[in-house]
Every structure is written in structure tokens, then in C-alpha cells.
Structure 1
């Protein structure tokens, strides 16, 4: 293997190299001829000058799968003396090459790439692979190779991959023997494809499917181009006919089908894949033969991608993806029988747990993870610390278990590999336990107990019977040393089932986790049946507004039964049959949970930031360096093809079609009832808020106000989370559920946490009986339904009690309002109505506040009721499947009883909710009646005020009329008196006085001017502004004390005059009834 050509243009032009573009041909094909048009020189090379014109800073390398000496091998002519030696060498190398599979070819590629980049000291230079045909499979294997310590991972430096007609899911032409020679001739292979290699490219190949699942997470953040051939390739094959004889026949076939050339599938979605159809054959597609338009478009797209690339952004994005894969832990719990000698028939179940990272789980599988921990405990038996499971956390108040010395068993497998029959750690179905194990296996000297029958719940403990002291004494009466008790590790013949829990509801991880289990069981159909469209993708809800809260899986429960059972029960409608002889179960269930208002706002802020950009790059530094794994997952997977399902509030669950529910979320009853009280100096907006504040203050101990402050760390909101559950087979249960983020305050994290509740139940001193996977699945549903509503440790999380208290407060407020309304109108009629007490008669602000609160309560109770209906429907369907499982397989017997109890629990919740809803509706109706009476009283007050206003207006009219009459009478008298009192020339006889004509001219002109200016100032806004500006200009020189004061006084007079005119004009145009309503403060 070697690079046969490296572009020298960067070195000659002096341009700094920013990216390495590596061309990988088909296995055995010539690296130059693959990318060069027929009959053209090197200038026509696709990965040559044409690419350098678009990306001048790229270094282009052409890779050859064969070593130089292998490529140069040729068989000399028969007449040549060296023919025999060359033929022998050629055949020897061909035989050696024939043993290679895609794994060996990938190792060769990795060795060549690392060697070349190391020699150029370019280990950190980004890489972009351009591969053709089978070379694409080699690139996928190289990228998914696990990195050794101290070696740079090329997958971390890979920006993208261009697949030219790559058979991701195999090819019949490449795998069938009749096309071997034709494929060799068409692709220009050095040797024919070996049988080993052809088997790896066969259709429905298990290794290719597993490679797709591994490449999916590795390709996160990469740009993928899938170029598909659209023309058939002409092949010459040797054919026979019924007549007899052999002949060469030309057939036109597509070497790689379109469905195989596209990387993304329903099971393994790829984030950024562009599918490009090229009008070319399989051989001509890497040269873009006869399709120059697509070629130019692809080059521009590639150049644009490289130019907008940022090494820092790529590094930050890769660190974020690595942090997610390495920091998220998957819980793997092995349930096995724990028995002491002589107690095989009474063996209780014990849990052996391990928490590998997501990357480790996907690479090794659950059995390898459990086996590694078991080997670790056996290899270190002298440790003084008892090995703890991943989830076993005791509080400081709980007793600490004594030290356990783990004794190595006589026969312990190196790992826990899958069995040949497709099962792992499995044993023949054990006999059903007579009772629930009421205690963990004792770690002190044993006591013998008698089994007590149970109905599937807690069983009473039998009285302990200590062993006789004589049993530990020899014949001389000397006390013998007792044998220390030992802890029994899991073994293959005592395995019952496994529980695999993934802590986040990310749809992209579902096929990866289920495929890991199927691969370990050596039956890939296990997860394929569970992920068919009708069971998985068609159950996903999406809204047109594309808000994350509208993304969820619809509640349902579906059973997949074996074909023979499906045929015998034809009356049961089932879309699919099970992939094995066992029953498979799928359940999607919403359940009630809680969160703090602080985390709700943080989640909304992260979602808002992430939705502002189309892709995860660039990564927000605060999120990447933060401790919130939920924020990292939202940033990484929010807009992916298989996105993460974020936690939803109660209103987001009840109204998924709403684009934004932030206002409704901030108005939740639980939030308003658990938020810290406001400071005493703050004024309350309404009497109802004052009452609520007093009640909240009583809920917090004295001195706590200072520690809480005004933040929302202690405030809580109702959430609706999702539970995804799959019973893959009789040995494996897989669950997905979103955890609650950790708090900085002293609130126990495990309150309402589904995972912790389940583990405490199955691993506690008093555990429910789970004989098989179906019993455990029912137990998971049991805890999901009761996750929040059965909490008694925290008063702020007793949801029903909080609703009942608040409804009682509002009902009391309603009674008080009725009494106040009655008292205000006891001795009041329309004649003695006190105007000063009018606001009390018709004030309805606090009643409207209470009415809105009741509306919120009814709305939230309705959403909770919808949740109960969804749960009841899903559990009813689940119970129907359990009845069939009980009858046919005698499994899930305890689970059936548990499901019946769950249904009764939900019915009890529903009755309690209906009672609260009825009380809220009764108070709601009462407030509406009260508001109606107050409105009627307001109408009475309005009529009374209208009558009074009418009387006042009549009196004013009479006064104006009298004044007008007197004015009309005395105006002529005063005018003539003034005229005859003028010292005019005509009256005085003095020539120096003005004449009457001159006096009248002055009087008329000046009066007319003042009248016009006054009218303009009164009725024209523009004139008023001009007068104000002129006054400021005139008053500016007099800015001294006297002048400034005088100007202020005159300005105030002018402003008051203007304001009074405006008020009179508005008052005159306003209806009297509206004024009356405003005076009485009706809201």
C-alpha cells in the first residue's frame, strides 16, 4: 500500500496546506485510472488540477491498496525464461491477497495514512476521503477502528467522506461468482475478487450491517456525499442455455443498487448526507463521465464546505461528541439466582450491575461489560472494600454492609460470550419461586426460614432460627473457626435476565443499543422487528411548527408473538410477528415527573440558542464546558434526523400544537405554590396574591427566606417524561427514560426518579418478585405510573394535596366575596347610594384573579386526566398481551397481577382528580355568578349616575340661559356707554384728539388679530408648537433669575391652558357611561 501520487501544487505555489484530500479506489483497482477519463492525460484527472482550482490549499493524495512490489508484479511471456518464476511469484501473492478481508485492507489504509501524515508532521491536518466502490467500505472500517493509546484517530480529523457508488449493503454483482471476471475487467482490478472478499459484499451481510451501525456514531458531524450511478454497466459473462454449450453474453447491470449506495437508512440515520445522482455507469461515476454539470456542482459544494471550515469549530464539535459518548453511562443489571448450598429451590434473585460508558457499551456489548467487572472482582479478592454496583448508593443514615471477601469460583469464563443458540448467560427456565425474597442474601451466619406464600407483594418475614452453637465445636468441645461467608457471583447457569437502561430519550441511540443486543444474541432480526415503521417511526409525533416539545412517541403497547401463536389467535390483530420463538414487547408510556423552574428556564434558553443555527457547529463554549449533559445533548442532537426528545412540561404535553408555551409554563399552579415568598416590603398585586403569599410563607421555616432569596431554585413545575421499553427476548429488557438534572440545592435527586425507584425495589431488603422479563417490565410500568404521585418525603411534591389546598383557598375567597357583596348592599337603594363607596359595590378585580386561577386549575387537571387516559389505554393493551403470555408460556404471572394493581391505582387517581375538578368547576361557576351580579349592580350604578348627570346638566343649561339673557341685554348698553365715553374729536371738539374713524380702525384690526391667534392656538396643534418654540427663543436672553422664573411661570400658564383645552375636548367626546365605569374602577 502506498500513495502513488501527491499533488505538488501547494509546495510550488507557497500556499499553506489546510486539508488532505485522499482518493481511495476500489480494492485492487489502479488509483490513477479510477479518477482519470479514458484517453486523457493527468490534467483531466478529477482529483487533480480541476480540484486544485477550487481548493488551492488542499493536498491531494491518491492511495493504492497494493504495495509497489505487488502492483509491479506481471507474468512474463511463456517463451521468456523467467515466466515460471514470475508466474509462481504472481500466484503466491494472489493466494496471499485472497486471504485478505475488508479488515486487513482497512489496516493497510490506516498504516499508510498515519505513516504519510507522520512523516510530514501533519497529524492534525483535516482529512477528506473520496472513495469509489469497495474502497468506501475500507474507509468506513478505517474510521470506525478503535484508536490505540498514543495514536491519532483519523476519524477525529475526518471532515467528510464522498462515497462514489459504494455498496453499503452489498451487491449481488460483486458477490456472485459468475460476474468475477467481468467485474475484474470492468474495474481494472489487479486480481479477481477472492471468495472471502465476495462473501463480505453479499446481500444482507451481517458484517456490513454492523459496520453501518458503528459508522453512524463515528460519522457524527461529518459531511457525507453519496453519489449514485444511474446507468447500467455492460458486462461480458459466460452463459449456458438449454440447447447446450457455453458462450459469452453481454448483459447490462447496475453494479451497486441505489438503495445500497445511499448510506442513511431508517435504522441508522446519517445527519448530513447529500445524495447526488450522476448520469454515469459504475466505472464512469468517479470521472463524472458525460455529466459535467453535476461535476461542477459537486466541486463548488466541496470547495464551499472546505472554505467555511474552521479547525477550532471542528475540534470543539468533536470534543462535545466525545464527551457525550464517554461521559454518559449505560446501566447494565444482571438478575441471577443467589443461593446457598441446599437452598436451590428457594433461591432469591440478586442484581449484579455495571455502568459502562455509551461508547464502551456499543463497542463491547453488555455481556463483555459484565464479564469484565466479574473478572476484576475475581482477580482482586483481597480488597477490603465491598464492590458496589453502579447504582447502589446508601445514605449516611443507612447501616453499612459488612465486608465481603469474593472467593474465585472454580470455573469462571474469561468473558460471558453469547451462546451458540443465540442466548447469553441463559439457563433452562427455572422453577417459579414460591414467594418473594424478603431480604437480600445474608452476609452474616445464615438463618433458616420457611417460605411464606405471597400474592405478588411484600411477604412477611419468618422468624429467624439461629444455628446451634454445637455445630461449630469439635469432639473435645473446643470451638472451631467458622468458615467466612462468601458472596456468590453470577454464573451462566443461574442467569435469569438483564435490564439495560439508557438515561436519555434520544431516538438515534435506540437502533444502536438494540443492535448491540441483537449482535450479541447473534440474531439481527431481533431489533429489526422492533424497529419496523409501524412500530417505531410511525409512532413519532411531529408538528408543523417544529418546536421540540411537539416531538414525542405516541403512547402505545404492541406485542410481537411467534408465527404459530399468531396463526392460532387470528382474532387478535397484529401487524408483525416476533423474530424468534419468544414473545417481544414494545411499550411507549408517558408519566408524570417534576423539575425545578430554574432548569426549565435553562433548558428553554439552550433550545432557543440552538434553534438559531441549522447545525451543531459552532458549539457554544459555555455549553461545551458546562456540567449539564442534557444541554450538551440538546445542542448536539436537537435538529438531527433522529433527534433527542426533550423533557416536556405539563402544558407542552397537553397542547403540543402550541408554538410557544412559556407563558403557560410560568403560570403553573405547582410553580406558584412552591416559589419562595416575596419580601415583606413588596406590594401584592391583589388580595388573592396576599393570601397566597401568607400561605406560602407558612410553608417555609423561619430564617429560610434569606437562603432562598428571590430566585426560583426551589420552585417546581410538573413535567411529563417518556418511558420507552422493549422486551427484546426472554433475557433482555431495554428501557429509555430521561433523568432529572442535578440540583445545587439540598433536594434529594432520587425523589420521583424512575431508575432509582426501580433499583431500590429490586435490590432492596423487601423486593417485589420478578421471575422473568415480563414481570420486570410490569414493575417498570408500576414505578413509572407512581413515580411522582406517591411521594411523601417532600411536601412541595405532593401534587394532589397542593391542588386541593389551592382549590380550598379559592373557595374560601369566593365565600368571602359573596359575603362582602351582601354586606355592601344590605341597606342600599338607588336613593341613598353613597358615591364614595361605589368602588366597593362593583370592584371585581380579585374575583377575576380567582376566576383565572380556577381556569388554570381546571386546565392543568384536564391535562393530567389526559395523561391518565393514555396510561390506562396502554396498560390495558399490555394486560391483554400478558393474558396471552400467561396462557401460552406461563410467564409474566406476577406481572399480570401487578398490571391489575396499576389499573386500580390509575382509577383511584382518576377519581381523586374528578373530585378536584368538580370542586374547581363548582367554585368557577360561583365566581361567574358573582361577577354577573356585580355587573348587574354596575349597570344600576351607571343608570343612577346617568340620571344625576342629566339633572346637573339641566341645571347648568338654565344657568347658561340666564347668563346669556343678561349678556344680551347689557351688551348693547355697555357698548354704547363705551363709545360715548371715548375722548374723540367729534365729542370733545379738540382737534388734537383722534377721530372716531381712526379709533374704530385700530379697535377692529387689533381685536381681529387677537381673535384669530386665540382660535388657532385653541384648535390647531401646529400653531401651539410654533408659539412654544417662539416663546423659548424670546425668553432665552432673559435666562437670569428673574427672566428664567418669569419664563417658567408663563410656560406653565401656557401648558396648563393647552392641557385644559385637551381635557375638555376629550371629556366632551367621552360617553357618560364609560366615565361612570372608570370612576367605579370596574376591571
Structure 2
């Protein structure tokens, strides 16, 4: 096996390249270059499909050993994958280089198997068990570097889900001819191609490969659209002879060539048809499908250019965002007020810490920290003599800090104790400590009176593990990537906990699952002797399901005990309980400072398989043979692989990826989860006769559920504007490392999350906070205009102007008379017009307010509550916090560090997290009893829905008052009343204007009456009425959006109530949920009340719109009547003017000839005077005619100068061009 570079002229080894391409042909191809060459060999100059790209180098993988017949028959996909990995590790030219793999046909299966193997080895390397995995001297790459530097893959007709043509022996000869394979595929390879999903007994090969796709930026899956002619032999039923015929078929169809299916979603995959046969796919039918080829090359260049920067911000961001972990527990029977309902992790761990160690670790760390001072005090008390004993002082808040709650305060000093009672008091203290310790309760040190005595200690009590009920994990952002990672981390924590219990439990019980059926137990070994089995495990571990873990573990144990791995495996086969120690040494792990989402899948599978093998080993008798032991272990692994994981249903694409709705414009605000609730029932508790229930079952036989719930919230206009600007520019933002560092130093947490997860190649996107209009019109590409015209935003501007206008006159009256005179003189002397204040009422239009004012105004937002019940002990919530970096006074920052935990925590008004937390963990004295003490995860989910529904709109609650500028329905009502008042005034003004118009028309016709008529006509202008109509329509539009929100909330709550009732009736849970159902019914009732108010306002809007339409119509008709009246008046005046002009015309006609002749005969010319020294009449006429003609020409020229000027000034060349 070898990897060689193309020639220098064909994208081979050369300088100044950005990434490398590893091209893998189909298994057994004679010459790898020929697969990607165009045109084919012997047809002139050639190149490859990557020719023309300046940045990559290309390497070809050759199946050198395929030409040997003995290798061809024995090798399968796994053996070729080993050869590919070996070649990649030894190829020093690709060390620390970004890689793009291109694989054709069966070569794609070899690549997938190689990457799965490399990932498993990489995890074993990072777990600290590098036995037999270290690089040799000639190796240049590690398994980890191969996986991490692989950024994209192109599959050309890869049969991910088998292929009839490739696996059928009748087509073997034709397939080898089409693909230029010297020897047809053997029986073993064809058998694997017949069932690729069960390759190496992995049961679901796609499930093993799916985590790797989360690392990748892009996957191209090309499939053929043209059929390939295959010559096959046929034999008629009644004829003894055989003949040949041509079978036209697609060797790998679209379904098999597509990596994703209904169970495994691959967000980065793009499925592309190519007009070519199976053999012509790698060359795009010799370059004829140029459109697909150019698209692939351009996309590859762009993806690999960004590959260097995409993954760098994840670790930094995970170390910034904090997660809340709260452990609920049962209330203690003998404690009423001082019971702790929630044990919270303190300080809150970061996402990175939770991914690395799990949420349970930090809850226990909090408990251990709280108990440590008490343990020291108890030891000191017991170690001292009674005569010298001193009562320990109460533990101060700085020493032991209980969960963030107003009730968690401790006494500042201990009570005084008389000397005569000292010894008896010490005895009572010790008895209380011992009694608490024996009951699993430890006092944390506050003093209070108890019955029958004074000054005795009463304790805050910390529960033991058997009192735990469930745990709440909360992440303050709607990031799908984090959601999936947290759920898988909880599953991994459950698996690790089960593994630790197995290691600690000496007597492991028999597995309660159903025994494997004969179909499940098809695995067997060809070897019966012990040495052959051990040799098979060490030499070929990938060929058997239980091999990899045992092989690595045996080598590690052998190195520690200074024995051979064969001895370790021999002991395991003869003493099966020994397998737990070996598997513990061979378990895979992750890097100490980072846990990737793609790593969690293999880690969980490894833990589950280890547990299944240990359980199976303890069911074997001590007399079991090595073969029986080996077969049992492998069958246990296969059975476990066929068993769904805990999160397999919750993260199933139909309930997770496909629930995400995306708008066609592709903007982030168009993404949201479809509001829904789904409970997954225990399979064993479902009756067969219950056909009315949708059979959605839980894989762990425990109730599971998911909830996607929209709810109303708020934000400042400045924060919403900045967020929308960043979301708009996310595609064009500079994603370089320099920009990332600058952003992560100055930006808020929300801006960092938007930059990092606004675009995600795996399509596990961030769902940003959306304004009300972005929620209602998610398909609208831009809602900037609508966001800046929200009802509560306009109301805030109106209130601001009103308050400023009330303040300014008061300030004016405080001025001295002298100062006012100076101001007036200055105003009179100034020739410039005075600027109008932004809040002035001197203009009819509204002046714009400065941004520093409007940025603090509120706007409505619609956020999403995501919640999952993973099992009966874990509930997870994701919803955003209001984080405004520009206006920190409105920030909601409840994350804390080690130094400031519990101190100076600013909370946001109407915040969902605060409402849930302080309701469930507040002071018992002030709590409403119907909302406290959630007994299980279903109760908690109902409580979260109750708060999300009632938090914002229920503004009159005495325990949670809402600011005036956030009382949404009241603001809508006030805005509507203002428009109603404007409408009333508009009708009154219209009546007054109408009277004025008719009075002017009926009055005396003169210039004054015409001026009055013009003023009255101006009052008929409908611009203000049109503005009010638009205002009413905006209010109605936002009320419709609220109706949509209420409808979705009601639908989800109805489903929850129905399911909760069903759970109680069928006794699927030990706890009844009557209170939770009551909370949901109460939330539904409040939504109905809000909806009634909204419906009433919508009806008022309809009436107002109709009134304004009528008013505008009447004004239009009145304007038409006035226009007709004015036209009649104008006509009368024109008639009178015509009479006057006719008189002037008659006079002119009569006197014009007389004037002409009088002037003519009055001239002193020779003809009239008979004097020789006078000019002749002819000379006078010529002179006067010439002068008149000149004056006329000049006058006409001046009159038409504007018409001739453009033509005269135009260039002669332009005039010629026009001609």
C-alpha cells in the first residue's frame, strides 16, 4: 500500500499550497490516477478534476497488494482500511496539513472504516493508554492528527447502504471491467458489500461514523444518474445452456449514495446528482457536467480556506459560559422551615468543565465543600476532654456557603451557656451530632430554640444520596450544538456511574434484558483452541466486536504486571470476572482539556460495551471453555450495539434536527424549533389494546420527554439593534484569528456565541433571540423597519416626549426675568430659525430622538424554552438570558466566579431563570404553596411552562411586579385609547371644517371668502388620519402575532395536560402529578384571559379601521364637493372676466383702425406735407419695418432661449452622432 503524489504539473508536491487532497479509488483499481484522469488514457493531454485550483496538492492511494490472488480473497474492507491508515501515518508530506479526502465507489467504505478506526485509536491515545499505539521512528502522523486535520470528504458513488450490483457474483466480471479492476471481487468482499451496515459486526456502521461528521465542514455525496450496461449470464428455466445479456442499471443509486437517513442526520452533507455513469463519476463524465464540477471546486476552495479558523473559538467560548447544576431532594420529615430543597453547584461550572467531568461532579463537590468544615469541627469536639470542651462557633457564610437563597443565612453568634449547664449541653450537642450522622443528616450550624430547652442547636440539614430526587441542568443559550453535547454528556455520566457500580459490586446480578435471539447470536469463531483465539484478539482485533478493548487492555495490564499479553488474555478466558480489570485499563478517553461532541458517541458506546461484557462474563460458569467465554463476550457486545442508547430517541432527527424550521432566506432569525411536547412511554408498561396512544417508546423503559416552548420576553432596543446587525453581517464577518481574539476580548457572551455558532457546518445552529416581528414574520428577510416601529417602542417615545415637555416649562419658569429678556433679545436678533427640540410639539411630525435615548427603550422578544427529561433523575433546560453589553444596567448576569459567587448578582426583570429558581428555592414563609417542591422531572417541566406563560403578561402579581414600560397589554390598550381619542377629534374637526366650507361658499364672493375657503380645504388633508390608520393596523398586526403565540402555547399545554393525565391513569410513574396538571390548567386559563383581552382589542382595532376608512372616504367626498363648488365659483368669475374682455375687444376693434390712420396721416412725410426736405413715406416704412423686425427677432430669441440653449451648448461631435 502506498500514497504517492501527482506530478508537479498536475497538482503534485510544490510550494505555497494550502491543503492536500487524498484521492482513493475503488478497491482493486489497477491505477489510481486513471480513476480521476480526464480524458481517459491514450486520448491526448490529460488533467484531473482539481486542475485549475492553485491551493491544493494531490496524493493517490494505490491498492498495490490487490494484484496478489491470495490477498484478494482474504482481504475485506477492514484490512484495506488498515493499509490506508498505515500509509497515512507514514506519509510525512501531509504532516500538520489540512486534508480533503475524495473516495470513489468502494473506496469510500475503506475511508469510512479507516476514519472510524483512527478515531477510536485517537481516543485511546488521549486516555493515557498508548500501549502499542505509539509512533514508530518512520511514522509522521498520529491518529489524532489524521482525524483533526480531515475537514471535508467527497464521496463519489459510495454504497453506504449496500449495492446489489457490487455484491452480486453474476455482475462481478462486468463490474471489474467497468472499474478497471484486474481481479473481480471475491466472496468475502461481496458479502460485506451486501450488508455494509453490519461491517465487522458493528451492527450500525453509520452510527459509528456519524460522530465524525460533526468534525467536518462539508461532505459532498455525488451519485450517478446514468445507467451502466453490465453483461450478465442468464439461464432459461427449461434450458440447460446459458447465455449472456446486457443489464442496464445504476450500480449505486441515490439512496445508497446518501450518507444521512432517518436515524442519522448529517447536516454538512450535500447530495449532488451528476450526469454520468458509475465509472464516470470521478471525472464528472469527462468534464461534461461542468456546472457540478465548477461548483464542487469553488466550494472546496472556500471551505478549506475557512477550515483553519472554524474550530478555534469553541474551547475559549466553552470556558466562558457557565452552567447551573441544581440537585433536588426530598424534604426532611422532621424539619419544616430550614430544609434545603435544592443543593446547587457553587461556583457554577463552565461548559468546558461540565463536558469534561459531568454535572454530577460539581454538585458533589459543593456538598463535600459544605460538609468539610463540619467534619473538622466534629472531630475536634470528640477529641477534646469534656472538662476542656468548647462549643464550636457557628459556621460563617464565608466558610460554608449554601445554595443561593434568601433563607440560607446563618447566625452571627452562639448563645450564652451557663457554666452549670456546660457539661450537659456538650453531651446534648454530641448526641445531636451522632443522631444526625446516623440518620444521614449533617448539621451545618445555626442556633435556634427547640422544644423543652433554651439555646440548643437546630441544624440546616444536607441530604444524602438516597434522598436525591432529580437534577436540573440549565444552560443560558439556545445553541443546538451545546444541547446535544450536554445530553450526551449526561448519558456518558450515567454509563460511567453504572461502570463504577460494576467495579465496586463483587456480586454482579444477571442481566435482566431479553436473551439474544438466534438471529442476534449469529456471531461465532472459527477457532476452538485458546491460543488461536488469543492470537486472533491481538493480531486482528477489529475482526471481532470485543477485540479492541481486550487487546489494548491486555497490553496495558501486561506492561504493568511485567507479563505477556497472552497470559492476561488466557486468564480472562479462564476466569471471566477478571475481565473488568482488563477492560478498565483499555477504556477509551478524551483529552484532559477538551471534550468534543464527536468524541462522546464513541465514549458512550465503549462504556456500554464494557458493561455488557462484564455482565455477560459474570453469567458464565467457571467451567466454561475459552471458546464459550469468547463467543459470549462478542454476542453481548453485538446485543448492546443493537440496543438503543439513552439519548437515541431524544436526539432522533425527527424529534431534533427536523423540528428545526428554517426560512428560505437563510438568516438566523428564521430558525426556530417547532413548538411541541412529546413524552416517550415505557415500552413494558404499554398495553397492546391501547391503540389510541401513539407508540413512541423510551429506549430505557423510563419516561422521557422533550419540550420546545415559545414565550414572551423583552430586550432593550439598542441590544436588539446590535444583535440584528451582527446576525446580518455574520456571513460576511471576518472570521480570521485576529478578529476572533479582538472579539473575544471586548464582546459580550451573546455576541461571542452569535459569532461562533451563527453558522455551523453540522447545522447544529444557534437559535438567537427574536423580536416580536421576527417571530411573527420569520420568512421576512429583514424586519428592521418593523422592529423600530413596535407599539411599546412608540409608546415609550411618546411618554418620553410627554415627560420632557412637562419638565421644560418648569425649568423655564425658574429662569430670571433678566435671563428670559436676554434670551428673547437673542432670539429676535438672530436671523436663523430656531431648532425644534426632539420632544417639541411645535411641529406636526415627530422629531427623531437621539440613539442614546432610544437604545434604552424596550422592545418585545419571543424566546424559546427547550427542555428534556433524559431519565427520571435528570432534566435539562436551555433558554437565553437577556445580556446587553451596551446597557449594562439592564443586564441579567447570574453566572458567578469563585470570588463573587452569591454576591452582587444583577438579575433582570421578568427573567425566567430567576422566576423558576427563586420560586423553587425561596423562603418557605413567603412562598405560594401550590408552586413549591417539585417531586420529579415532570413537575419541574410543568412549573417551567407555568412561569414562562405567566411571567411577563401577568403584570399585576404582588410577588412579581412588572415595570410600567413592560406591561404589554396595558400599553397596547393605552395606545389604542389614544388612537380612539384621535379618531373622535378627527370627526369633530371634520364637522367644523365642513361647516366652515359651506359658510365660505354661501357667503359673499370676494378675496377674503376665497382665503377662508382655501384654509378650510387645507383642513381636509388626510395625512394625519392616514398615519393613525397605519398605527391602528400596526397594533392589530402585533395583536395577531400575540394570538399566534398564545395559540402555540395553548396547543403545547393541551398536549402536556393530556399526557400527564394518561401517565397518572396508567401509573407509569410512582408519583402523581395532580399539582402539575393544576399548574398547566392555570397557565392555560391565564392564556385564555390574555387572549380575551387581545380579541377585544382586535375588535376595537377593526372598528377604528372602519371608522378611519369612513372618515377618509367622507373627506374624499367632501373634497370632491368642495372642488366642484370652487370650480363653479371660478367659472362664474371667469364668465364675468370674459364679459369685461369682450368690452375691451369691441373698443379695441373700433378704435384700432382710427388710431392707425390718425398716426399714419399725422406723419411729417413728403407725400403729406409737399415739402422737399421731409423724408418720403417709403423711407419711413422701410426704417420702421427693419427696426421692428429686429426687435421681434430678439424678443422671440429671448423667449425661446431655454429651448435652444441645450442644443447650442452640445458638442458638434455629439450632434453628428445623434444625426
1:485 paired residue among 415, 438, 443: 443
The 2-side partners of 1:168 and 1:351 are apart by: 47
Quote the residue 2:207 is aligned against.
209
Q: Does 1:876 align with 2:1054?
A: yes
Residue matched to 1:135: 111
Contact 1:19–1:128 (CA<8 Å) still a contact in 2? yes
Aligned ranges for residues 292-441 of structure 1 at < 5 Å? 313-320=306-313, 327-328=320-321, 331-337=324-330, 339=332, 348-352=341-345, 368-371=358-361, 374=364, 378=368, 402-403=397-398
**Secondary structure of the equivalent of 1:883?**
helix
Q: Please, which of 791, 804, 810 is the counterpart of residue 979 of structure 2? A: 810
Structure 1 618/225 Cα, relative in aligned 2: closer, same or farther at 3 Å? farther
- CA shift, 1:474, in A, is 3.0
**Which structure 2 residue ranges, 5 or more long, are not aligned?**
129-140, 169-175, 234-246, 377-394, 434-441, 445-459, 496-607, 609-642, 806-833, 893-907, 956-960, 1004-1008, 1212-1219
- Give CA-to-partner distance per residue, 1:677-701, whole Å, 9 cap, x none: 468876479998989989x9xxxxx
The CA deviation at 1:860 is 1.8
For residues 1038 and 661 of structure 2, the distance between their equivalents in structure 1, rounded to whole angstroms, comes to 22
- The residue number in structure 1 matching 2:726 is 606
Cα distance, 1:961 vs. partner? 1.8
Q: Distance in 2 between the 1:350 and 1:497 partners?
A: 11
List aligned pairs for 1:532-611, cutoff 5 A.
Answer: 535=655, 540-543=660-663, 548-562=668-682, 570=690, 572=692, 574=694, 576-610=696-730
Superposed, 1:675-714 pairs within 5 Å as: 675=797, 677=800, 683=836, 710-714=852-856
Distance 2:1171 2:941 in 1: 126
Task: Find the counterpart in structure 1 of residue 502 from structure 2.
Answer: none
**CA distance 1:944–1:277, shift in 2 (3 Å):** closer
Alignment match, 2:391? none
| Alignment match of 2:152 (pick from 142, 160, 182) | 160
DSSP-derived class of the 2:1150 partner: helix
Task: Report the Cα distance in structure 2 between the residues aligned to 1:324 and 1:633, rounded to whole angstroms.
Answer: 7
Measured on the aligned residues, the alpha-carbon RMSD in Å equals: 6.2
- Report the CA distance between 1:597 and its aligned residue: 1.9
Q: CA offset at residue 441 of structure 1? A: 8.6
- Residues 1:496 and 2:638 are matched in the alignment: no
Q: Residues 170 and 201 of structure 1 are in contact (CA less than 8 Å); yes or no, is this contact kept in structure 2?
A: no
Structure 2 CA distance for aligned equivalents of residues 405 and 686 of structure 1: 54
Check 1:962–1:19 CA distance in 2 against 1; reply closer, same or farther (3 A cut). same
Instruction: Tell me how far 1:739 sits from its aligned partner.
Output: 3.7
Change (3 A) 1:479 1:871: closer
Q: 1:761 aligns with which of 900, 919, 928?
A: 919
TM-score, length-scaled by structure 2: 0.60
Deviation at 1:841, TM superposition (A): 5.0
CA drift at 1:741: 3.4
Q: How many residues align?
A: 895
- Counterparts of 1:231 and 1:332 in 2: how far apart (Å)? 59
1:186 and 1:643 mapped to 2: Cα distance? 45
Given the superposition, is the C-alpha separation of residues 821 and 297 from structure 1 closer, same or farther in structure 2, using an over 3 Å criterion? Answer: closer
Asked if structure 1 preserves the Cα contact closer than 8 Å seen for 2:151 and 2:304, the reply is no
Alpha-carbon displacement from aligned partner over 1:866-917 (angstroms, at most 9, x marks no partner): 3222222221222111111121125433210110110121122223334444
Contact 1:15/1:56 (8 A) holds in 2: no
Output the CA distance in 2 between the equivalents of 1:383 and 1:31.
Answer: 71
Question: Is contact 1:339-1:346 (8 Å) kept?
Answer: yes
Match of 2:423 among 457, 474, 497: 474
Pairwise CA distance, 1:501? 3.9
Structure 1, unmatched stretches of 5+, are 77-89, 177-181, 237-250, 387-399, 408-436, 447-465, 697-704, 1031-1083
- Counterpart-to-counterpart distance in 2, 1:380 and 1:30: 65
Aligned ranges 1:815-964 → 2 under 5 Å: 815-817=984-986, 829-830=999-1000, 831-832=1002-1003, 834-835=1012-1013, 838=1016, 842=1020, 844-889=1022-1067, 890-918=1071-1099, 920=1101, 938=1119, 941-942=1122-1123, 944-964=1125-1145
Question: Which residue of structure 1 aligns with residue 947 of structure 2?
Answer: 783
CA contact (8 A) 1:169 1:203 kept: no
Shift of 1:959: 2.1
1:638-649 counterparts in 2 under 5 A?
638=759, 643-649=765-771
CA contact (8 A) 1:335 1:349 kept: yes
Do the aligned partners of residues 686 and 1014 (structure 1) sit closer, same or farther apart at CA in structure 2, a change above 3 Å counting? Answer: farther
Q: Distance in 2 between matches of 1:634 and 1:756?
A: 24
* Structure 2 partner of 1:20: 20
Conserved? CA contact 2:345–2:362, under 8 Å = no
Q: In structure 1, how many angstroms separate the alpha carbons of the residues matched to 2:1185 and 2:978?
A: 76
CA distance in 1, matches of 2:1154, 2:249: 122
* Contact 2:32–2:60 (CA under 8 A) maintained in structure 1: no
* CA contact 1:825–1:841 (8 Å) conserved in 2: no
Q: CA deviation at 1:594?
A: 1.6
The equivalent residue for 2:173 is none
Distance 2:14 2:753 in 1: 42
SS of equivalent to 2:952: coil
1:668 to partner: Cα distance: 0.9
Asked whether the 8 Å contact 1:134–1:167 carries over to 2, the reply is: no
Stretch of structure 1 that moved more, 841-850 or 143-152: 143-152
Task: Measure how far apart 1:404 and its partner are.
Answer: 5.1
- Indicate the residue corresponding to 1:239 in structure 2: none
Cα gap change, 1:711 to 1:649, in 2 (>3 Å)? same
Q: Secondary structure of the equivalent of 2:713?
A: strand
Residue 618 of structure 1: how far off its partner (Å): 11
Deviation at 1:647, TM superposition (A): 3.2
Quote the Cα distance in structure 2 between the aligned partners of 1:1029 and 1:1022: 13
| Pair 1:925–1:232, CA change in 2 (3 A) | closer
Q: Distance in 2 between matches of 1:344 and 1:598?
A: 44
> Contact 2:710 / 2:862 at 8 angstroms: preserved in 1?
yes
Q: Distance in 1 between matches of 2:404 and 2:752?
A: 42
